[in-house]
Structure 1
Amino acid sequence: MCEVKEELKMKEHRPDLCSRYIKIFIVVSCYWIVSIATVFVNKTLLSSQSVALEAPLFITWFQCVVSFTICYSLSKSGGIPKVFTFPSGTPWNIEVVRKVVPLSVMFTLMIATNNLCLKYVGVPFYYVGRSLTTVFNVVFSYILLGQTTSYRCILCCGFIIFGFYLGVDQESLLGSFSLIGTIYGVIGSLMLSLYSIFTKKVLPSVNQEVWLLSYYNNAYSIFLFPPLIMLNGELSALRNYNNFDSTYFWFQMVIGGICGFAIGYFTSLQIKVTSPLTHNISGTAKACTQTVIATQWYNESKNTLWWTSNVIVLASSALYARFKQVEMEENSRKPIPEEKQSLV
């Protein structure tokens, strides 16, 4: 009798497990598709002759406008029924502005330098060009938070730096190296690291709601970008541009903005249905696939050492994520000393 009950339970459990795996597969696939598509769409907007607009920060600003419009609409409607609920909140509250704007400055500089990097470097090199985020995370976590890092994680950072150097060296030998693009990539990595660290401090101000923070960041970036656009000398390019009346141009711009919003949604969704570690591994594998696709798409031939640099960076980043996950699990199992326990 007990065996029959166990068999029935197993049969009931299998469809649930199967549906869960199908859901994870769909979410991860959507993340890969949207993430890779976003990089290629942005590269087209920033560098292709079909757009031919030398105003990368204006393009980035417009994407923030599209993301803000979507977030504003979802905030008013409460989200998408049976898909997800969008938290209520307004970015125009003085207290919220005071607490979130410093982070929004980092957010603005981060996406600006990322797109400037993508404008000047090829898509195959884009991941390596922005690969120092992990290294900056370790440095700033120690300087700003006083958090130490294990020797094996530091060793992974050493390999990432070596892979980055090797990639730069091989790009130079192949004649496709862009110094300004690589500098923007390093600055983008630095800003992403700072943004990640300070996000933890700002999230309590928005009730731990990642969507609200994204909504507010895009709202404030709309006002933070115009001075950067002027400093980058893009006003003359905008005045002399002849395709503002082109439906195809605005279609590309809107698609770029939707992709920017979608990647944030699928990133959060992937973390939700899997785990932060799985997300990191998925992102690493996606970067590898993106590099292979890009070399085929743009008909670029790379030598063995160039591919070796990519493998070193990808493997070191994945190992770092795994080591940090193991350390977090070990720390969570350690008993808290009685004198440090909360009275609650």
Structure 2
Amino acid sequence: MTSSRYCDANTLKVAAVVLFYMCAALVMVFVNKAVLNNSPDLPLLFLLLQLLIAVILLHAAAFVTQRIEIPKIELDTAKKLTPVVLVNIIGLVFNTLCLRDVEASFFQIARGLVLPLTILVSSFNTRTTPTVRTIVAAVAVTSGFLLGVAPSSTVPANVAPSSLSLFYGFLSSLFIAFHAVLIKTSLPYCNNSTIQLAYWTNAGSAVFLLPFVFFHGEPSKLEDLIHDSNWDGSVFLWGSAVTGVFGFLLCVAGLLSIKVTSPITHMFSSAARSVIQTILGVWLFKDIMTINRAGSIFVILLGTMYYTWVKSVEAAPPPRKDIDLEALGSGRPTEDSDSDITVVFDVPEEKASKE
């Protein structure tokens, strides 16, 4: 009885975390897109506000609970974390520019090379050759990307993604791949705390981004927009606030997802989120959905799901074989008697539930 209640509670916890993560991710994409449509000339200022709000919320959370610890700002640590911070902010900039220039439903296609590039960068970093199954997954995802970006006569010229926007998507995917590799080497400098690393990357990214906001002339562009009667400044302000808050929540949701869910659960939740994102993009922003694009999203999801399954199988420990008790009692030799084996006895249900 106790075991059944525990399973029900654990299932509810996993479902809640998955729903939380999906909602936060979807809000981030669509509110970002709405703001960038409203203020296309302020992408860096918009991103800077998101980073600053995330830093402020991390401080507020640390004040409320001891589980979130703000790291000490030390020059030596800052130098060691500079590579991961730079890669993070460059990737965020290209990610924002890509989202600004493509449709919301096409965004996941434009960034469809994340998995193949991550596999490639990881292989170079570890100097290992990926398995055949991993290569098959990478080829499938790449095929899906190429299918999605192929020219289509059903897409008007003014809606079709430009070469520059696709280049932004490629660079975003590439820097995400570098970031995934650098995180592993950077965590020891943050006491292996993902929260501390999140603080460093958000605060450091804001510092590096600030001068480029002025070099790009965005403060003066904002001033011109304020004096433009046709510009709705509330969309920019509220959008910055909402994405800043949900960016922080997405960080928390990601950590909870890693802690509570399995890779397979995360795989299916990501697939479901991609489908919902496509439907909402067509509904909210009147995005055009062609057979090529739908097929591209399907192939990319299929390849990604296959890769996740492959990695979960490769990471699973080999099954341990039980001793054939009947053979042991009769004096016959048991199978694999020299291997590491475990005797498994039947445990009464009541005792098992207590344990």
1:150–1:330 distance in 2 versus 1, CA, 3 Å: farther
- Residues in 1 aligned to 2:212 and 2:153: alpha-carbon distance in whole angstroms: 30
Residue 269 of structure 1 is matched in structure 2 by 256
Residue 130 of structure 1 is matched in structure 2 by 111
- Is the contact made by 2:58 and 2:70 (CA closer than 8 Å) also made in structure 1? no
1:202 to 175, 181, 186: 186
Superimposed CA distance per residue, residues 219-278 of structure 1 (whole angstroms, 9 cap, x where no aligned partner): 111110023324545344234220799556423211111111111111111121112342
Deviation larger for 97-106 or 287-296: 287-296
For the pair 1:156 / 2:137, whether they are aligned, the reply is yes
- Residues in 2 aligned to 1:263 and 1:74: alpha-carbon distance in whole angstroms: 14
- Is the contact made by 2:155 and 2:288 (CA closer than 8 Å) also made in structure 1? no
2:55 to 65, 68, 79: 68
For the pair 1:259 / 2:246, whether they are aligned, the reply is yes
For the pair 1:228 / 2:212, whether they are aligned, the reply is yes
Superimposed CA distance per residue, residues 126-146 of structure 1 (whole angstroms, 9 cap, x where no aligned partner): 111111111111211222221
Residue 339 of structure 2 is matched in structure 1 by none
Residue 304 of structure 2 is matched in structure 1 by 317
For the pair 1:300 / 2:300, whether they are aligned, the reply is no
- Is the contact made by 1:114 and 1:184 (CA closer than 8 Å) also made in structure 2? yes
TM-score by length of 2: 0.82
Give the letter for the 1:22 counterpart.
L
1:142–1:110 distance in 2 versus 1, CA, 3 Å: same
1:218 to 182, 202, 205: 202
For the pair 1:30 / 2:20, whether they are aligned, the reply is yes
Q: How many residues were matched structurally?
A: 314
1:43 to 29, 33, 47: 33
- Residues in 2 aligned to 1:126 and 1:201: alpha-carbon distance in whole angstroms: 29
Q: How is 1:53-202 mapped onto 2 (pairs within 5 angstroms)?
A: 54-79=41-66, 85-90=67-72, 92-170=73-151, 173-175=154-156, 176-202=160-186
- Residues in 2 aligned to 1:310 and 1:240: alpha-carbon distance in whole angstroms: 39
1:331–1:190 distance in 2 versus 1, CA, 3 Å: farther
Residue 331 of structure 2 is matched in structure 1 by none
- Is the contact made by 1:128 and 1:164 (CA closer than 8 Å) also made in structure 2? yes
TM-score by length of 1: 0.85
| Offset of residue 284 of structure 1 | 2.5
1:246–1:56 distance in 2 versus 1, CA, 3 Å: closer
| Offset of residue 87 of structure 1 | 2.5
2:6 to 13, 16, 23: 16
- Residues in 2 aligned to 1:20 and 1:204: alpha-carbon distance in whole angstroms: 31
Query: Counting helix residues as a fraction of each chain, which structure ranks higher?
Result: 1
1:331–1:93 distance in 2 versus 1, CA, 3 Å: farther
- Is the contact made by 1:271 and 1:278 (CA closer than 8 Å) also made in structure 2? no
1:249–1:117 distance in 2 versus 1, CA, 3 Å: closer
Residue 342 of structure 1 is matched in structure 2 by none
For structure 2, which runs of at least 5 residues remain unmatched after alignment? 321-355
Residue 3 of structure 1 is matched in structure 2 by none
- Residues in 2 aligned to 1:248 and 1:309: alpha-carbon distance in whole angstroms: 32
| Offset of residue 29 of structure 1 | 1.0
1:289 to 276, 282, 286: 276
3-state secondary structure, aligned to 2:14: helix
1:233–1:151 distance in 2 versus 1, CA, 3 Å: farther
| Offset of residue 53 of structure 1 | 5.2
For structure 1, which runs of at least 5 residues remain unmatched after alignment? 1-10, 80-84, 334-344
Residue 334 of structure 2 is matched in structure 1 by none
- Residues in 2 aligned to 1:332 and 1:142: alpha-carbon distance in whole angstroms: 28
- Residues in 1 aligned to 2:80 and 2:273: alpha-carbon distance in whole angstroms: 34
- Residues in 1 aligned to 2:142 and 2:238: alpha-carbon distance in whole angstroms: 39
